[in-house]
């Protein structure tokens, strides 16, 4: 049976206050402030001293779990023009080529995540330059201090990487910008903070469901099992973050992909058992004749049985460039072909299109929208977005 998304829950201040025990919505709304605070903390810590102010031979980023998107964003922004390679490692072993000429960036909100902490310690032992981001009083900060690296604190009130993403990401991008690895500076971060403020305002809890983009998207996502598809590398990163938030915050299983590489495997799912087209195909094979994919609006779940879960497609689209390029036109045509195929198969399609701006600013808007949507989806389903009994039980069983 499909989950029941109650719009009255997400429009009620009392219900939101009762369900959102850790004020997840408020935490997401501070994203713009996190960027501004991170810039100040980075400058106070001497971010210009990263790698001695000299461009390293290579950069390795260590982040995992809710912080993993930090690595993804740095890779994305570095790819177009970085003069040095950027790679990602979640845990030991540290690659053998890392040495005194390289920079290792380790990110952990608590400063205690085993993977980034072990990688930072091994990098320090080999004499590599270090940039660490996390809690001020933490083992990760100690490793950076002993190695004469640069450690950036995360500020107060940052309790989970799901709501403190920008406290972790902004210092990394600022440091990489100082080294000429990415095209990010305080001006770009200020524009990004403004975009995050705009999204926080339009997605605020007091904004009614019929005008709030995140609440509207949450209601749509509740109608099926979501596949999140980005129309290119930028939205591919946003899609990965969205599936992580849907699973961890809303407890909804989701998968993500990126065009053009994942077009075939996504479209293949439109033939499968989670679409209305599948029922028509089965009827055709049984001799009943193929029918247009559609739901029976008169179906009674008590007499006819529960409705099977259906696939839904969340397509994340980038703004079209001006002037238009052939590559962008091909990407647009492929995205439209996929959404058309989805609708013809009876798949519910939602689209979120980025607003113009620097790539980081565009990405920030996509992430903010889906972050808020995943949180409203949890609340509309009657779940606390920050508290998962099964996660707590898992930690208890493993000592994590």
Instruction: State how beta strands 348-353 and 311-317 pair.
Output: parallel
Q: How high is the pLDDT of residue 250?
A: 96
Q: How high is the pLDDT of residue 81?
A: 87
DSSP per-residue codes, 175-244:
HHHHTTSSS--HHHHHHHHHHHHHHHHHT-TTS-TTT-HHHHHHHHHTTSEEEEEESSHHHHHHHHHHHH
Q: How high is the pLDDT of residue 49?
A: 94
- 228, 380 in Cβ contact below 8 A? no
Band the pLDDT of 391: cuts 50, 70, 90. confident
Band the pLDDT of 290: cuts 50, 70, 90. very low
The residue ranking higher by pLDDT, 308 or 94, is: 94
2 pLDDT exceeds 80? no
Tell me, what DSSP letter sits at residue 174?
H
User: Strand, coil or helix: what is 47?
Assistant: helix
Cα dihedral across residues 289, 292, 294, 296: positive or negative: negative
25 pLDDT exceeds 90? yes
189 pLDDT exceeds 90? yes
253 pLDDT exceeds 80? yes
397 pLDDT exceeds 90? no
293 pLDDT exceeds 60? no
Cβ neighbours of residue 316 closer than 8 Å, sequence gap 6 or more:
228, 229, 230, 231, 235, 238, 239, 242, 351, 352, 354, 366, 370
Q: For the residues 331-356, what does the mean pLDDT come to?
A: 96
292 pLDDT exceeds 60? no
Rg (CA), the chain: 22
User: For residue 115, which of 134, 99, 128 has the smallest C-alpha distance?
Assistant: 134
CA 226 to chain centroid: 15
Q: What domains appear along the chain, each with residue ranges and CATH number?
A: 7-21+203-389 (3.40.50.10490), 24-195 (3.40.50.10490)
Q: Which of 109-113, 157-161, 352-356, 382-386 has the lowest mean pLDDT?
A: 157-161
Residue-wise pLDDT tens digits, 30-64: 999 999 999 999 999 999 999 999 999 999 999 98
- 67, 109 in Cβ contact below 8 A? yes
The residue ranking higher by pLDDT, 295 or 230, is: 230
User: For residue 105, which of 160, 159, 158, 68 has the smallest C-alpha distance?
Assistant: 68
| pTM of this structure | 0.92
Phi, psi for residue 305 in degrees, rounded to 5: 90, 160
329 pLDDT exceeds 90? yes
Residue-wise pLDDT tens digits, 93-148: 999 999 999 999 999 999 999 999 999 999 999 999 999 999 999 999 999 999 99
223 pLDDT exceeds 80? yes
User: For residue 176, which of 157, 189, 195, 194 has the smallest C-alpha distance?
Assistant: 189
Q: For the residues 69-97, what does the mean pLDDT come to?
A: 94
Band the pLDDT of 392: cuts 50, 70, 90. confident
Q: How high is the pLDDT of residue 142?
A: 98
Task: Name the burial class of residue 125, with classes exposed (0-12), middle (13-18) and buried (19+) by CB atoms within 10 angstroms of its CB.
Answer: exposed
Phi, psi for residue 23 in degrees, rounded to 5: 55, 55
User: What is the rounded average pLDDT for all residues in the chain?
Assistant: 91
- 310, 224 in Cβ contact below 8 A? yes
- 121, 144 in Cβ contact below 8 A? no
């Amino acid at each position: 049976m499909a989950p029941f998304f109650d719009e009255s829950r997400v429009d009620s201040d009392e219900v939101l206050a009762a369900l959102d025990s850790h004020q997840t919505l408020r935490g997401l709304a501070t994203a713009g402030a996190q960027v501004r605070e991170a810039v100040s903390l980075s400058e106070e810590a001497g971010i210009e001293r990263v790698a001695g102010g000299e461009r390293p031979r290579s950069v390795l980023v260590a982040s995992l779990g809710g912080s993993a998107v930090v690595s993804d964003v740095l890779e994305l922004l570095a790819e177009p023009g970085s003069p040095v390679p950027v790679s990602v490692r979640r845990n030991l072993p540290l690659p053998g080529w890392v040495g005194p000429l390289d920079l290792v960036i380790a990110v952990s909100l608590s400063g205690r995540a085993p993977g980034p902490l072990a990688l930072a310690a091994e990098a320090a032992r080999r004499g590599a330059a270090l940039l660490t981001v996390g809690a001020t009083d933490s083992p990760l900060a100690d490793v950076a201090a002993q190695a004469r690296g640069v450690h950036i604190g995360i500020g107060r009130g940052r309790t989970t990487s799901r709501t403190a993403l920008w406290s972790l990401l902004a210092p990394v991008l600022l440091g990489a910008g100082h080294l000429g690895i990415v095209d990010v500076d305080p001006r770009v971060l200020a524009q990004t903070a403004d975009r995050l403020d705009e999204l926080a305002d339009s997605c605020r809890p007091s904004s009614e469901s019929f005008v709030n983009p995140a609440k509207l998207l949450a209601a749509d996502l509740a109608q099926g099992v979501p596949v999140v598809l980005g129309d290119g590398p930028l939205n591919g990163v946003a899609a990965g973050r969205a599936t992580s938030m849907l699973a961890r915050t809303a407890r909804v299983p989701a998968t993500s992909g990126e065009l053009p590489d994942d077009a075939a495997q996504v479209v293949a799912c439109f033939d499968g058992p989670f679409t209305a087209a599948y029922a028509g195909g089965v009827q055709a094979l049984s001799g009943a004749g193929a029918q247009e994919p559609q739901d029976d609006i008169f179906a009674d779940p008590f007499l006819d049985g529960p409705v099977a879960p259906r696939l839904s497609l969340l397509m994340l689209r980038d703004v079209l460039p001006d002037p238009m390029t052939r590559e962008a036109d091909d990407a647009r045509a492929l995205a439209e072909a996929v959404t058309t195929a989805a609708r013809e198969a009876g798949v519910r399609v939602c689209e979120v299109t980025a607003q113009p701006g620097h790539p980081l600013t565009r990405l920030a808007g996509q992430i903010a929208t889906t972050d808020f949507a995943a949180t409203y989806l949890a609340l509309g389903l009657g779940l606390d977005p920050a508290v998962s009994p099964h996660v707590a039980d898992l930690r208890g069983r493993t000592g994590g």
